[in-house]
Structure 1
């Protein structure tokens, strides 16, 4: 069944702040600051009495004050004064010797802007799962080998707010303050912050939407930007201090930026040095090598402030992304699908270094949850040094050849103890299905082990994609598809698929330095007695069409019964067997290539014959091996079903019927012959 998506292009006209280096004398644009406001940073020992006296002398009104170890940051307004008068006041303060021993700096209350590119693509509502559309998730090895720690780590998102009612974020968002509207409700009225939050921590395996990279994390939503995507320096300073003082926060995501502000630097110093948080910030969208801030503080606070550039799906610089030796790392930032406020559109594609930044924040959350005793600079150093082993191409076409050494974000390298050796892993993938419903075994865990050592792991999604670890390209996608890049190529390893209240699948595979298909695997719930399931390749396009049959042969022939598509049977009537679905009348995609017969009770004096018909090809069918059909035989063993056999049709035989085996007195005997 084909799904049709409506893709609508919107252009959002945001007034972006030109990027100015702190040392330049270029005039600040008229719309780059809050009119009639200044920020004055007083020295730490200046009393409130002296502050009020100075504010009164210059004709202003003290509206807000933040006390920090390195200074007292004050927001002062001049009601009814135009900006020229305010600028003259700033100049007068700077040149007055009476104030020089009390004031560190006076500066306009500059604007900060969300670092979003101006082309936005909306994603229409649909019941489909969108993981396969998340190229950035796979580009950073989001499903490489490990799953998030059971511990919960909080990432503060300073942005336009977060829609905490979104189904993919509900229950995951901690409400912080709203500094734009001066209240305690950080609801997103633009969409940028919700998009950022979804990349970090959208719920996984909930049957809807997208998957966040650190989907076990919490999001502290702090609204420091308004509906137009902008906020003042003071709004941002307050947001930084709130995040710094929140004991649950380890990482602060700032997908925003502007020109240099000493007040902001003092707040960042408090955040990363006094409080030990890690700041991840967007490098900006001007295609320039001039720093914006707070990302530009990466040079003042190495490993504690991480500046994030953006690349596209070819791993080359996004056309808009800033770059330079001050940049710390690159992450996906073009056409990134994520959550959006429910009042606007559930999910949306956005581009910008704003989108690249939360990938790095989420990665930091994962590695910090694995290493809880590490400090912020230790985590930052891991982020920067354990990037992809495939270096960025710096040929002045893909990336500028400017002496930069930063790499591309790689969870595969970040979450392992050592850099991954590409010759030491193989990819094993397959489809995991609920044998009772014919739906994906979503939420199940697929794990590879070498002895007792876990070499790889993936969560079975509703819809998944298998990724080539060399090219980062999707080479196969389907419902219930798991994909594990397992360490230890050249060894025989055990693949386990498990889920609460279901039987466990165990089988051994040779892990080679290539791709291994584990099969289309049906796994039954914990119910008796026999589960007889056939599956065949979803990619098969030949003539074969299959029907399952179970003939219950009573010893006295009194109640002989044939279970098949015209008589599917019942668990409440003899012989207590039922065909659960017919592949020719499927209710799900997986049911098109599978059928299950369950026997709930084994009767004495009855022999059950299990066979398959290729009704479409008919007599002489030679399609049995071409279709990839297999029979999985599960039998109740005390407390749960166990897998007795995985049977493949015999080679060199052709015919209409495949006789798989029979059950007599609870014992299954394999016959495995093909005939007409």
Structure 2
């Protein structure tokens, strides 16, 4: 069922679309504020009502325009975390901006303040993949059939990335066209995909893809849309759960739209999506979060991730990032329990764009990955990036839940690392674990 809880955060994505779209760039006059957990609802209301008083207290000349109104939107993660997003209109003078920031930071109720920032997809746009893909497609051919082998299922004629993750050694991968995975195929798990949305009517995802919530307005800014108007989210969902291209073919995927048609968003909108998941997820099933996004380091996002993992039992797969730098600079990659995923190509070489470092837990295929895109855009497409690597791990986590449903999030993360293939990848730097995902779990 679609959510009608949009708050006022949906408008923030429209602001981003009219502003410079560089990942991590500060959105002017917009802040994320965390309050102390013991702040009462009345305390929150009193604090918010004081913000306009702070701004209006600035002495101005008689011919100055009236003081700006502070726009706020609250978020609430039960008793564990409360906060809000504050915004001043464009063109607000420096004196009013500084007065508001000083007033917020000096409040006894405030735990943390950070600037809202632009979020982008972990998609490597400049990677020429079409010739390679056509070659692979001719070699492997379309999906043909499945056959059962004891506790496992084999998909014959599988795409290269699925074949690779179910074979330990590169030589055995080259001689096979089969993807092998546990018979449960991720049944009983749900992956929440914070992204551009999912084409839930795609035949490859039929009956397993659903809309959860949208916090994004359309191009005209008039109404919230439930549509993947970019293609990234549907591609990610296909890697997790599609019939031909999915790692976990019986897993459900739920769309939480936090990114617009340009593939951009804001940290505050990510928090809105996470709040929706916190309040609406079915906690009787196994829940996984996938963020194939470049979220600049955010204490607020890290705090929510910690809470969802430790108190709600979520597992979380996050893309390492595509700037060929330190994965720890993106959130929530430093949080214990989050699986941070780097990208490789079909030659077992870490992709030149992939972030590395101590925060990377494991690698998965990320270059030249064929998967689903909205039917209106052609139905199938090839993309590259750590965006494509992370959903391989989301699917793997769903498979692991099928094999060992009783494991905690931290135990599950340790389990997939234990069964990973080690020391087969090239171009791994000294600070990064050399682990590659493996699906033939026991």
> Which TM-score band (shorter chain)?
0.7 to 0.9
Note if 1:167 corresponds to 2:182.
no
Residue 347 of structure 2 is aligned to residue 314 of structure 1: yes
Counterpart pick for 2:184 among 107, 125, 148: 148
Paired residue for 1:65, among 68, 74, 86? 74
2:394 is the alignment partner of 1:361? yes
**Alignment of 1:238 onto 2:275:** no
Q: 1:332 aligns with which of 365, 384, 398?
A: 365
- Structure 2 distance, partners of 1:237, 1:95, is 20
1:53 is aligned, of 49, 52, 57, to: 49
Are 2:89 and 1:79 equivalent residues in the alignment?
A: yes
Seen in structure 2, the aligned counterparts of structure 1 residues 112 and 150 have a Cα distance that, compared at 3 Å, is closer
Distance 1:173 1:84 in 2: 47
Contact 1:175 1:221 in 2 (8 A): yes
2:438 aligned to which of 405, 410, 413: 410
2:142 to 109, 129, 154: 129
Distance 1:314 1:82, change over 3 A: farther
CA contact (8 A) 1:316 1:393 kept: yes
Q: Aligned pair 1:106/2:113, yes or no?
A: yes
8 Å CA contact retained: 1:384, 1:406: no
Q: Which runs of 5+ in 2 are unaligned?
A: 1-19, 56-68, 144-155, 167-177
Measured in 2, the distance between the counterparts of 1:42 and 1:150 equals 38
Q: For 1:271, what is the secondary structure of its paired residue?
A: helix
Residues 426-465 of structure 1: pairs in structure 2 closer than 5 A? none
Do the aligned residues in 1 keep the contact of 2:328 with 2:358 (CA within 8 Å)? no
Shift of residue 346, structure 1, vs aligned partner:
1.3
Instruction: Point out the structure with the larger strand share.
Output: 1
Give secondary structure in 2 for the equivalent of 1:373: coil
TM-score by length of 1: 0.51
Q: Which has the higher helix share?
A: 2
1:14-25 superposed matches below 5 A: 15-17=21-23
Q: 1:224 to 1:70 in 2, by over 3 A?
A: same
> 1:296 aligns to what SS in structure 2?
coil
Unaligned runs of 5+ in 1: 1-13, 19-31, 204-209, 417-676
Q: Any residues of structure 2 matched to 1:483-494 within 5 Å, and which?
A: none
- Secondary structure of the residue aligned to 1:287 is coil
Per the alignment, in what secondary structure is the counterpart of residue 143 of structure 1? strand
Match of 1:139 in 2: 164
Which residue matches 1:37?
A: 30
SS in 2 for 1:343: helix
- Retained in 1: the 8 A contact 2:186–2:400? no
Give the secondary structure class of the aligned counterpart of 2:162.
helix
TM-score, scaled to structure 2: 0.77
**Shift of residue 94 of structure 1?**
6.1
User: 1:480 is matched with which residue?
Assistant: none
Q: CA RMSD in A?
A: 2.7
Equivalent residues in 2 for 1:178-189, closer than 5 Å: 178-181=214-217, 186-189=226-229
Stretch deviating more after TM superposition (356-365 or 34-43): 34-43
- Deviation of 1:193 after TM superposition, in Å, equals 0.4
Aligned positions, number = 369
The secondary structure found in structure 2 opposite 1:280 is strand
Counterpart position of 2:248: 214
Provide the residue aligned with 1:654 in structure 2: none
Preserved CA contact (<8 Å) 2:297 2:332: no
Residue 161 of structure 1 and its aligned partner are, at CA, apart by 0.5
Which residue is 1:592 aligned to?
A: none
Query: RCO greater where, 1 or 2, for CA within 8 Å and sep 6 or more?
Result: 2
